[in-house]
Structure 1
């Protein structure tokens, strides 16, 4: 189950640095999505059995000017591991950051550098091969209505014309704790309508389309 927690924000006035905490949630409309829990929406229902995704290259802006760059190469968010759903960034205290920019997925340079360690270690099951690179997002589960059908969505690809990485720009209200919501509704409706595409397991046009649908659904909320 997704746990609700209260986070304490600690400031380090000696160095002028603070923390920005971003909590990651998957949703379907207004409903939170949890692993192995049914989600009912618009005449269909599904449940996720696995949900992992990469977020990378975080940058923080004020009035269009870059104020800070995150040093972590990539974050692997795994719905099964609560600790991965909370990202903590050191930011300049009082800098008035009003926009966050990042990548949904892994960029081409990182992909062509070969398999790495940490969040990018192949042991996490998010790396295809040196030819195909990293899986940006992995969603697996079962549609339980209108018919029972399994789905496997492994969305990635870094080479033209099937580059699946998505650039995200989100405005923030300058609070120190915020929520990054990723709404699965548009994607899952598209998947259930195109039943021949229930299993996307390699780079291609469908993987790019699905990644774009997810990118458009991302919102930053206080």
Structure 2
């Protein structure tokens, strides 16, 4: 009897391991088989309600201080996109880094893929590039330095870039240079955008809902501080970039439409 038990014990042990492995596989299977869908995000660049037109000298824009100006460059990063569920939970979109360039129409529509099927009531994302990637050196894709949004001298990314001209600017050739970046205190300019959708977003396999997101470049110059181009017309990181980032933190982006 003892010999039989000795022979049976290894078999029983192997059976138990096999059962546990099978049980765990069954638990994990639903996660592996979750259906996913995609979302198309359309970016519309404005300045205080007017369409942003680069190099437009016929119809100049005005900042909150009343200073006339034109825009020659407008680019910005969004990253770490998450969709908000009805219960308040967040579904993180992995490796979500997007660069929008007003001069490149192909960047104005961004497709977000591999989103679990479901209903979502809002969105949150980082304005700029998160601290981890910001200090990881030059990278590829949207974070490629060739995109013109990386400081080689400062080893970091420019989160929002606006360049232009204003007769009120005291800089050489009346230039405006706003390169907003920096991820270390006290000059940390990373900001977060969060908003509820105007109606529920439905993600499902085989469909491509659309989200329209407005970017108001005028938000850089109004908010906590009204920018006077005679006094502030140049920044590449540092305290003045914090001033501008604090301005646009609550006014740069707005989701205006969801089309399922």
RMSD: 2.5
The aligned length equals: 206
Which of the residues 204, 207, 211 maps onto 2:241?
Answer: 207
Q: Is 1:198 the counterpart of 2:217 in the alignment?
A: no
Is contact 1:45–1:146 with CA below 8 Å preserved after alignment? Answer: no
Name the residue aligned to 1:10.
none
For 2:226 and 2:191, how far apart are their aligned partners in 1?
19
- Give the secondary structure class of the aligned counterpart of 1:174: strand
For 1:50 and 1:89, how far apart are their aligned partners in 2?
25
Q: Provide the TM-score with structure 2 as the length reference.
A: 0.71
Specify whether residues 194 and 71 from structure 1 end up closer, same or farther in structure 2 by C-alpha distance, changes over 3 A only. Answer: same
Specify whether residues 130 and 30 from structure 1 end up closer, same or farther in structure 2 by C-alpha distance, changes over 3 A only. Answer: same
Which of the residues 86, 90, 96 maps onto 1:66?
Answer: 90
Specify which structure has the higher proportion of strand: 1
Mapping of residues 134-213 of structure 1, within 5 Å: 134-144=157-167, 149-172=174-197, 173-175=199-201, 176-188=209-221, 193-201=228-236, 203-213=237-247
Name the residue aligned to 1:104.
127
Mapping of residues 65-144 of structure 1, within 5 Å: 65-67=89-91, 69-90=92-113, 91-93=115-117, 95-129=118-152, 131-144=154-167
Specify whether residues 194 and 50 from structure 1 end up closer, same or farther in structure 2 by C-alpha distance, changes over 3 A only. Answer: closer
Specify whether residues 181 and 39 from structure 1 end up closer, same or farther in structure 2 by C-alpha distance, changes over 3 A only. Answer: farther
- Give the secondary structure class of the aligned counterpart of 2:166: strand
Mapping of residues 18-29 of structure 1, within 5 Å: 18-29=37-48
For 1:15 and 1:81, how far apart are their aligned partners in 2?
35
Deviation of residue 196 (structure 1)?
2.9
Where in structure 2 are there 5+ consecutive unaligned residues?
A: 1-32, 202-208
Is contact 1:53–1:76 with CA below 8 Å preserved after alignment? Answer: yes
Where in structure 1 are there 5+ consecutive unaligned residues?
A: 1-13
Deviation of residue 34 (structure 1)?
1.7
Deviation of residue 132 (structure 1)?
4.4
Specify whether residues 40 and 48 from structure 1 end up closer, same or farther in structure 2 by C-alpha distance, changes over 3 A only. Answer: closer
For 1:32 and 1:106, how far apart are their aligned partners in 2?
26
After TM superposition, the structure 1 stretch with the greater mean CA deviation from structure 2, 36-45 or 172-181, is 36-45
After TM superposition, the structure 1 stretch with the greater mean CA deviation from structure 2, 178-187 or 36-45, is 36-45
Is contact 2:73–2:102 with CA below 8 Å preserved after alignment? Answer: yes
Deviation of residue 30 (structure 1)?
1.5
For 1:191 and 1:51, how far apart are their aligned partners in 2?
20
Specify which structure has the higher proportion of helix: 2
Is contact 1:141–1:150 with CA below 8 Å preserved after alignment? Answer: yes
Q: Which has the larger radius of gyration?
A: 2
